[in-house]
Amino acid sequence: MEATHVIEAGEPDTLTVETPLGKARGYSDGSVFSWKGIPYAAPPTGGLRFRSPAAPQPWAGVRDCRAFGPIAPQGHDTSVPIDPTMMLDEDCLTVNVWAPRPDGQPRPVMVWIHGGAYCLGSSAQPVYDGRLLAERGDVVIVTFNYRLGTLGFLDLSSFSSADRVFESNLGLRDQIAALEWVRENIAAFGGDPGEVTLFGESSGGGAITTLMTVPRAEGLFHRAIAQSPPATSVYGAERAATVAARFLEILDLPADRVGDLWDMPVERLVKAGDILVDEVPVRVPGTLAMSPVVDRDLVPHYPVAAFQKGHSHRIPLIIGSNKDEASIFKFMRSPLLPVSAEAVQQMFSGLAQDNPELSALRLAEIVAAYPDSTKPRGALAISRDAAFRMPALWVADGHSRHSPTWMYRFDHATPILKAARVGAGHATELPYVFGNFGTLNVDPTFWLGGRKAAVDVSGRMQRRWLAFTRYAVPAALDGSKHWAPYTEESRSTLLIDSRDRLVADPDQALRVAWGDEVMGFS
């Protein structure tokens, strides 16, 4: 169905648009309007639990879109600032839109995928509010929820039977359904369904690098920005089956009673999933309990290998990582990333065991490239590069052979973050992209100053992200220089800081030590 473009002005602060599914009332938000909590799929409950998202049902009358929809079921984690008054519910598949008043001139669309290690987070987090970006860029911003953890990224398909089918990669299938909703509905909000940029961070960025190799997702987005993607955190079916079996052990549920999962209280599923999320990266450092799976169905290949073999979608890409990615995991005492020399050694031992082609000499050469490898600083650097920096480079290498690619490294940190030895840690670039500072319950970002410099950095990042969205080329640097595309010959990388620099092959020695071919972090 196509959007009908019927617009009704109501009260001075409301705007109702008619979508293919029904009328949606939005509310003024600064100089733009927002519509929140619009369903893009049927509630994934009852017989749809553990199944692909189904089409949403049209509604009668006018749907009031003042408030965000429920958050995807997940455990409690204080590192993710979520409003405690918001409801968690399986019926969570909703989108949010920020847009200037539709005027008949289609605007580019930016669709955000939130991060959270595939098990946490929500589109309702204040840092993801799309108002400022929509205003600044005269674009349409879309954010959405998708299933997480046990219900979204635990692959139970090894327990499927003729009577009960557990589908794989449900969270990715939700993301595709949200993009299909954008294609079919966004024109009603003034957006151009043929000019969609998909952007996301952490597991949201990893979802993007995966979707860029998924045939079913081709054509649903036309540019991509992957911020700190853990692109190699995608595992095989055999490993997924082992994790699923452990999940049943935690629940004390025999395999012949796996059908009980369909009716089990969601709180019990989440609690068991939380145990698994904490347990797996401790037992096997460098891995996640739940993530996309190479099921040979939706996801046909390991994504990074697919990039290197030329199987990624032919679209422009911005990709990058943060200078001090791993620091925040040490600061938060999170088990999701190995941050001690002992854990890093365990990670490499696991790599050697799972990948016999990796010689002990090769692994020793990598460790030797880090002078402080036996100290916390060295362990953090190795973990940063294993999880984020090298996967981003491997993706860029493969993609740049056939499509325009730009590489960045986010280096900026406020004085308090430098003093706390967090620096440009994981996710610290998010306020700069959206322009939303001060969204934490207790936000120390500017306790020692640095606001003016941060606002300047934010403005430059937003200009580049928005220019890429509109023109498929990121905005120029200050002065006459432009952000040169990344190639395997030039390795041009934009270092984003108080003063940005375009550098050829930063950290060359570390890149050479890791090599140019994918290592199996599975």
Burial class (CB in 10 A: 0-12, 13-18, 19+), 6: exposed
- What does the chain come to in residues? 522
Please check whether residue 100 is in contact with residue 107, taking contact to mean a CB–CB distance below 8 angstroms: yes
Nearest one of 477, 509, 475, 466 to 110, comparing CA atoms: 466
d(CA 512, CA 522): 22
Q: Nearest Cα to 424, choosing from 288, 231, 233, 228?
A: 228
- At CA 410, angle to CA 72 and CA 313, rounded to 5? 65
Q: Which contiguous run of DSSP H or E holds residue 24?
A: strand 22-29
Q: What is the DSSP string of 480-514?
A: S---PPP-TTT-EEEEESSS-EEEESTTHHHHHHH
Q: How far apart are CA 181 and CA 421, in angstroms?
A: 42
Question: Which parts of 46-146 are beta strand (E)?
Answer: 62-64, 94-99, 107-113, 140-144
Closest CA to 387 of 497, 513, 318, 285: 285
Q: Is 52 helix (H, G, I), strand (E, B) or coil?
A: coil
| 202 is annotated as an active-site residue | yes
357 exposure class (CB count in 10 Å sphere: 0-12, 13-18, 19+):
exposed
Instruction: Select which of 90, 184, 201, 325 is catalytic.
Output: 325
Q: Which residue among the candidates 34, 122, 157, 202 is catalytic per the annotation?
A: 202
As a whole number of angstroms, the distance between CA 108 and CA 95 comes to 17
Q: Beta partners for 198?
A: 111, 224
- Does 458 participate in catalysis according to the annotation? no
Structure tokens that stand for 42 in this block: 């049927």
Q: For residue 511, give both structure tokens.
A: 């890149």
Question: What CA–CA distance (Å, rounded) separates 63 from 38?
Answer: 8
Contact indicator for 16, 33 with CB cutoff of 8 Å: no
Catalytic option among 203, 426, 429, 492: 426
Question: Is 426 part of the annotated catalytic residue set?
Answer: yes
Catalytic residues: 202, 325, 426
